[in-house]
Copies of this chain bind each other. A is one copy, B any other.
Amino acid sequence: MTAAPARTLDVVGIGNALVDVLGHESDEFLAEHGLVKGAMALADTDRAHDLYDDMGPATEISGGSAANTMVGVASFGGQAAFVGRVRDDALGDVFAHDIRAAGVRFETPPAVEGLSTGRCLIVVTPDAERTLTTFLGAAAEIGPDDVGPDLIASAQVTYLEGYLFDQPSAKEAFRFAAQSTHEAGGRVALTLSDSFCVDRHRADFLSLVEHEIDILFANEHEICALYEVDAFDAALQHVNHHCEVAALTRSAKGSVVVSGAEVHVIDTCPVDGAVVDTTGAGDQYAAGFLYGFTHGYDLGRCGQLGSLAASEVISHLGARPEVALSDLAASLLT
């Protein structure tokens, strides 16, 4: 019998490796291009090119939902790794550079053939809402072979994007990762990603949440979509009999963390200045929560750490923290 590998990692995230391309546009721009505000739509190569051509000057910044979360965990001082697929091209280099520079282990080798590195075209409207059009590219070709069971076994938690369910091989990678995690005695976390993603995969997600997910992250729209209910409280009653821990974010209303009889109602943290850009909030909430969870804090404190990280990221453009979250969190972690 060999010894189990030491748990040197707090969290390993698996998701789409994407570079975000952010531009400010009007509501009319959304209408002209048939975009649904606040949603994430998938695009093929041609559609992505056409949309990019019409956008004004933009900013490139490494993104991807689970990747952003791993950067947040590292910013709190946690040990995080990311698994995701890029191509050996310029944007792939950017992605790898940025996530490593943020202190996240990233060892997935770049693909040497196939589609180019995935990108997410993000249109920011004047109301600070973000509308996403994603060309998955190389990211979609992630498969079970990219998920190293040893890496998984070295982490306390494996964190998975719901977006992985949008492509067959990524879905296989998801299932393999979940199975490997449980075999190694770890916890599996899932973020539902967005309400349209939930609509696309509801039956799968319901089964996953019931049987395989230990920690569920969702915002109000996503959790209501999952259970096909209108009221947050109705979704809350469903999810509390459905998985071990659920952390449900509600924008300005804060979040609710529920684990059986233990329920925490957590407020948002005040934002310095104006709210500039809201979408990274969910990714960073998960980062704060997972940092707390893997460091033995109670669930209420985990939620507070999530709120703290979310408040930092919505105060500026971009979905990754601009200051060390460990510094911001010092007063909560005594």
Q: Kindly state the separation between the CA atoms of A233 and B265 in the bound complex, as whole angstroms.
A: 5
- Tell which of A232, A265, A266 has the most Cβ of chain B within 10 Å: A265
CA distance A258 to B232 in the complex (A): 15
User: Interface SS of chain A: helix, strand, loop or mixed?
Assistant: mixed
Interface string of A219-260 (1 = CB under 8 A from B): 000000000000111101100000000000000011010101
> In the bound complex, what is the Cα–Cα distance between A266 and B266 (angstroms)?
14
A146 at the interface (CB under 8 A from B): no
Which bracket fits the contact residues of A?
10 to 19
Interface check A35, CB cutoff 8 A? no
Report Cα–Cα, A261/B233, bound state, in Å: 14
- A263 CB–B CB distance under 8 Å: yes
* Cβ contact within 8 Å between B261 and A237: no
What CA separation (Å) do A258 and B233 show in the bound complex? 12
Cα(A265)–Cα(B220), bound, Å: 12
Q: How far is the CA of A231 from the CA of B266 in the complex (A)?
A: 8
Q: Are B264 and A261 in contact (CB under 8 A)?
A: no
Q: Does A149 contact B (CB under 8 A)?
A: no
Pairwise interchain contact B256-A265, C-beta atoms closer than 8 A: yes
B-chain residues with CB within 8 Å of residue A254 when the two chains form the complex? 253
Nearest-neighbour CB distance to chain B for A107, whole angstroms, equals 39
* A237→B264 contact, CB < 8 A: yes
Q: Is B232's CB under 8 angstroms from A267's CB?
A: yes
A300 sits at the interface (CB 8 A): yes
Q: How far is the CB of A246 from chain B (nearest CB, A)?
A: 12
CB neighbours of A236 from chain B (8 A)? 263-265
A232 cross-chain contacts in B, Cβ below 8 A: 265, 267
Task: Write the chain B residue with the least CB distance to A263.
Answer: B263
Using A233-B300, A237-B300, A300-B233 as known contacts, say yes or no to A258 and B263 having CB atoms under 8 A apart: yes
A253 and B256 CA atoms in complex are apart in Å by 12
Of the listed residues A253, A256, A263, the one surrounded by the most CB atoms of chain B closer than 10 A to its CB is: A263
* Cα-based distance from A266 to B254 in the complex (angstroms): 13
List 18 additional A-B contacts (Cβ < 8 Å) besides A233-B266, A233-B303. A232-B265, A232-B267, A233-B264, A233-B265, A233-B267, A233-B300, A234-B300, A236-B263, A236-B264, A236-B265, A237-B264, A237-B300, A253-B253, A253-B254, A258-B263, A260-B261, A261-B261, A265-B265
What would 9 A/B residue contacts be, using CB atoms closer than 8 Å?
Answer: A232-B267, A233-B264, A233-B265, A233-B300, A236-B263, A236-B264, A236-B265, A256-B265, A260-B261
